[in-house]
Amino acid sequence: MTAMGRGIGESTIVEALPDAVVVAGAAVTTLGDTAFVFVLLLAAYWVLPERVATEPRRTAATVIAIVTGTLAVLTLLKVGFGLPRPPAAATPAVAPDWLPTLFEPWFAETTADDGFGFPSGHATGGAATYLGLAVALDRLGTARRRIAAGAIVAAAVAISRVVIEVHYVVDIVAGAALGTGLLVGGVVLARGRNDGANRSAAVAGWLTAVLYGSASGRRTLDPTRPFIAAAVAALLGVAVAIRAGDPGSVVDASAAVGTALGGAAGWRLCDGSEPPVWAPVGLAAAAVAGPLWILSLAGAVPPIVGACLAFVAAAIILSAPRLSARVDHRRGASSSYSDSP
């Protein structure tokens, strides 16, 4: 597959689009940025109440594990295929005159990208993230409407990548299919084996529950297995990136290894029954974990150090509900003691 062979003439159509559509595409594409996705999933993991999701902590942790694995697989495939982006991705789009000067740096950064182009990371991660959240919010509306909403957001993110000319259509189609497949595979992995049931029956039972809102066949999810699978995929990504001589991908894959293993370790401290995270605990955890995770991806430290930083960051994030529950319990006990005669 060559760069020329991937194009189907979409560049001609995109170049004729009004400036407003391109600016809108740049805005929508941020919904698939790695930082935005993980902040969104972190918020879901910490604050989702039981009125909108069954076992919100356990379900959201599973989606985090799957998306972590998705990013690991992306590094592996992008480096493995080694296919370039469209030529227009090398330079930022020209900002329209009506765009405020304040937003011009953002527009320039968003409409240019480097690295390999196949499959689209935004399309892959968007499908896994937004369809995953649609599955997680199983007490909010009907299953069909949730899946439709998730698919619309994921499709908008994917299409935006073509609109701002950093991907070909085939890149986003492959990415959307890959993200959906990894989501299904990750959920099946998190569900494990049913007594006497085979994998195909597990997939059929889950899809029935998702599409028709049935509670039958539903089993408690275990995020540990998807986290471990993500770590394995990321380790393969490190090996492929080293062999290809791609330092940036080595950094990304190493951070994914640490994130996956740290997520598994942090989750083992929880049991899934924790209430939403108390705000002060969440702020403290984010203040420590956020800079560590950003540093792990910045390439400013050796990859092995970055993996360790990502491990600590993910462990803090995933264990925060248990820490919050303990702090809240002690606060309650202290309040009861002070109120006693």
Q: What percent of the chain has pLDDT over 90?
A: 68
Amino acid letter for position 327: V
Asked if pLDDT for residue 141 goes beyond 90, the answer is no
Cα 41 to Cα 44, 57, 59, 213, 335: the distances in Å are 5, 11, 11, 22, 33
Segment 101-125 mean pLDDT: 93
Q: What's the pLDDT at 339?
A: 44
285/291 Cα distance (integer angstroms): 11
Cα 248 to Cα 74, 175, 224, 244, 298: the distances in Å are 13, 20, 27, 11, 9
Asked if pLDDT for residue 329 goes beyond 70, the answer is no
102/55 Cα distance (integer angstroms): 42
Segment 142-170 mean pLDDT: 94
Residue pair 229/189 in contact by the 8 Å Cβ criterion: yes
Q: What's the pLDDT at 200?
A: 52
Per-residue pLDDT band for 275 (boundaries 50, 70, 90) equals very high
Asked if pLDDT for residue 51 goes beyond 80, the answer is yes
65/263 Cα distance (integer angstroms): 7
Question: 76-94 burial, b if ≥16 CB within 10 A, otherwise e?
Answer: bbbbbeebbbbebbeebbe
pTM of the model: 0.88
35/55 Cα distance (integer angstroms): 25
Asked if pLDDT for residue 301 goes beyond 80, the answer is yes
